[in-house]
Amino acid sequence: MAHPSPIPDQPGAMRVGIPRSLLYYKYLPFWKTFLAELGLEVETSPLTNKQILSWGVEVAENELCVPVKAFYGHCMALRGKVDALFVPRVVSVEEREYTCPKFLGLPDMVAAVADQLELPPLLTPKLNQREKPSEFKWQLINFARDEFGVGAMDAIAALETARLAQRRYQESLVSGHKPLDLLPSSRLNRTRWKKPRGERKRIGLLGHPYNIYDGYITQNLVARLEEMGAELVVPEMTDHHVLMKAATDVPKQLYWTYEKEIMGAINHWTENKMVDGVIYVLAFACGPDSLVQVLIEHRARVHKVPLMSLTIDEHSGEAGLVTRIEAFTDMLMRKKKTAEAVA
């Protein structure tokens, strides 16, 4: 159902909510800066918790993956706090490629239940670079004009400031930080541990940022691995162009950009012997994740790199997760010691 455009006559007083889920971990610096430069106040939803996930599970269709269910809950957590919700329709972020279908349909899925859930109006700019990358700029300029009455020059200035913020964020990631180190209030998944004695295991933690870094959904996986003595390598630590180039080492190119990044990461890690083992985190019922899982398993088998796949959903339990990652890290250490003894 269509919703009225949010208050264009007092943009300075308008508050826009960004749900802390899905592309939040990838583009928050860009979106937050762009909206703020347009004169809007930006608020993000809280960290995922039991209530937020329960809200999402209650309203979402059963066959949706858990990150989308969490997204519903985050939208609901912003009710009464903001004048509008920012839910962009991200169709394509690379030429001749697409994002996962859920990003194409996300505004429609949320809009379908917006009245029932009493959500604020939705801001749904369509972003599609499939035919021409420069379209991205004009799509945002038009969005700023149509929704807030912002002129082209002011929108371009906001866009350039946002690009700079995103570039700084990505440079920090490539220098060795994880998104959790840089994004605000990411206290879940924070490592409380002290550096262990002895040699550490280098584990490649593979998956979408919204799967890996949501501490509630993954039972604080990042912190648990580091507290067990793992040195984590994540896809965000490698330049995007390097990942894209590495992802071409498959017989047929993938359509989905974010899945190509995942394939590029494991190809890059295994080719350069950067990790002792890989943990692949995927969401139950996610079609692209399941397809890429087969390719990842093949790559790991060919390069003889231990791989463990962790499938998450809203029923994932802490005990099972801890047991599996303890067994995996112990196995990596024994394998490493055996190899050193033989050498």
| pLDDT at residue 20, as a whole number | 95
In this predicted model, which residue has the larger pLDDT, 196 or 26? 26
Residue percentage of the chain with pLDDT more than 90:
66
DSSP assigned state of 61: -
**Residue 10 pLDDT > 80, yes or no?**
no
Using pLDDT thresholds of 50, 70 and 90, give the confidence band for residue 3: very low
| pLDDT at residue 336, as a whole number | 74
Beta strands in the chain (DSSP E): 15-18, 41-44, 84-86, 89-92, 122-123, 126-128, 201-206, 230-233, 277-283, 307-312
In this predicted model, which residue has the larger pLDDT, 321 or 200? 321
User: What's the mean pLDDT in 221-244?
Assistant: 92
| pLDDT at residue 66, as a whole number | 92
Residue 78: partners with Cβ closer than 8 Å, 6 or more residues away: 17, 19, 43, 45, 85, 120
| pLDDT at residue 2, as a whole number | 43
User: What's the mean pLDDT in 243-267?
Assistant: 89
For 214-231, the DSSP string reads -TTTTTSHHHHHHHTTEE
How far apart CA 144 and CA 123 sit, in angstroms, is 10
Give per-residue pLDDT as tens, 207-227. 999 999 998 999 889 989 988
Give per-residue pLDDT as tens, 63-110. 889 999 999 999 999 999 999 999 999 999 988 888 988 899 999 999
In this predicted model, which residue has the larger pLDDT, 275 or 94? 275
Give per-residue pLDDT as tens, 28-67. 999 999 999 999 999 999 999 999 999 999 999 888 899 9
How far apart CA 228 and CA 246 sit, in angstroms, is 30
Q: How far is CA 181 from CA 220, 222, 228, 248, 332, in A?
A: 14, 11, 19, 30, 26
- Give the position of tokens 């990150």: 67
3-state secondary structure 153-170: HHHHHHHHHHHHHHHHHH
Alpha-carbon Rg of the chain, whole angstroms? Answer: 21
